[in-house]
Chain A
């Protein structure tokens, strides 16, 4: 499992394995439980590292670029690290990557936190505010760890209001709006729910 205390070791190992395979230097944007742990926002363990995309420095600033698949050398490197640390198959995955095409919370790239793990790998972790956006989106219609993660982030009214604006732009359907409203009420954000 990935946890706050072994992230450094696991990603440094990934850097070494990429180097061994002659892979190019790569910068990945990480969200989910791994990003929460890396930034010290939560201490729970997680089984995988969710990759949102590749970070690319452009003349206009940092951009999150969509990735449809990992390069072969990164697949092999992550398999080796998975074996070496007893992580499940696909522990480094592109699960949330389609979100880049459908739209990211405004300003996400500006709020990324960069960590270097060696000559081949740097990671950009999404911010607490963006976690609130993603966790709210994931928690609607579910009653699982995403709800608990969202509560543990103790979002302020304004932060959650921003997240509500974003998630309602991602899914404009009526059933989604109703589920979101119910979730916000359950979480104790009545006034925000009432505005929907």
Chain B
């Protein structure tokens, strides 16, 4: 049956928020949904994406702030700023306004005194673009700790591997680089830096150090993790049971779609949505590849006819993200 714009909007919003709630649930936030139990989480990407979607679900926004007040020490502020910067780029010239801006980080930093224990202040974030955040201001003023978030150290299961590794190494590039190399084939310093949202020089120095120490080896210009099985045993991790996604890329794509779906004139016009989908085709294909969901070729669907096949593929992506844990459990 053809997927209407209204039906897609409703399904997309419900599933996208569910992806976020499940991840927050895994991080110890009381939620109506079970915790994510398949995908390895990425704290900074989840936080930025949650804040992008904050005004779509204020409870989610508030829950993320409460979690942050209790778990600030687990967060890499420099990476948080890096991810936020990625979200502040408009994907194409006529796109709806940027998803995010550094000024919101500053506002959050100011609004939550508990964040003073962060090693690097969010207050350093830019204050440009302040006029964008009127709704956020009222949500931040209304924020109260309601006792719905637990401290992270009370939790222990594989999707929280990033946090566990940070307990060992602190919040630096080693954690994200190791996670990537555990689940993926490897890469050069530039591709890895892009994947993990750290500075290329820092990633290069780390990889060279690891190469000398025998943690990684260079194969055809790529750094590859040696003896993944040993690492998996050490971390108590079944690599086939858990999945890795580039959450910055995945959330960025989904959040851009989310913004388009609530912003006129895109939100009211199948053709403009189709045109916007074409603008996001490259991003969609990369995320689609990660999730094994083929994205239909736009040339086969002229004008507004691209809406339905693209929207169906996005629904499938979200359903794979949500269903993967359940599927893995059965197998």
Contacts and interface: CB of A to CB of B under 8 A. Distances in A.
B330 to A, nearest CB: 42
Contacts of A6: 302-303
Contacts of B304: 9, 13
B215 interface: no
Interface in A1-48: 6, 9-10, 12-13, 16-17, 19-21
Majority SS at the chain B contact face: helix
A154 interface: no
Given A84-B271, A84-B274, A84-B303, 11 more contacts: A6-B302, A6-B303, A9-B271, A12-B271, A16-B269, A83-B278, A84-B298, A85-B302, A85-B303, A86-B299, A86-B302
A6 B271 CA distance: 13
A21 B269 CA distance: 15
7 contacts: A10-B303, A12-B271, A13-B271, A13-B303, A21-B94, A84-B274, A84-B278
Contacts of A12: 271
Nearest to B279: A80
Contacts of A21: 94
B269 A84 contact: no
A17 B275 CA distance: 9
Contacts of B306: 84
Interface in B270-304: 271-272, 274-275, 278, 298-299, 302-304
B97 to A, nearest CB: 13
Contacts of B94: 20-21, 80
Nearest to A13: B271
B299 to A, nearest CB: 6
Contacts of B302: 6, 84-86
A116 B94 CA distance: 24
A12 B274 CA distance: 14
Contacts of A76: 93
B265 interface: yes
A85 B304 CA distance: 9
Contacts of A10: 303
B272 A20 contact: yes
Contact of A16 (B271, B298, B299): B271
Nearest to B306: A84
Interface string B84-107: 000000000110000000000000
A88 B265 CA distance: 26
Contacts of B275: 13, 16-17, 80, 84
A172 B303 CA distance: 45
Residue among A9, A13, A19 having the largest count of chain B Cβ atoms under 10 Å: A13
A20 B303 contact: no
Contacts of B269: 16
Interface string A169-182: 00000000000000
A85 B300 CA distance: 10
A25 B235 CA distance: 63
B5 to A, nearest CB: 14
B94 to A, nearest CB: 5
A9 B303 contact: yes
Nearest to A20: B94
Contacts of B298: 84
Contacts of A13: 271, 275, 303-304
B69 to A, nearest CB: 41
A19 B272 CA distance: 11
Contacts of A17: 272, 275
A86 B299 CA distance: 6
A16 B272 contact: yes
B310 to A, nearest CB: 12
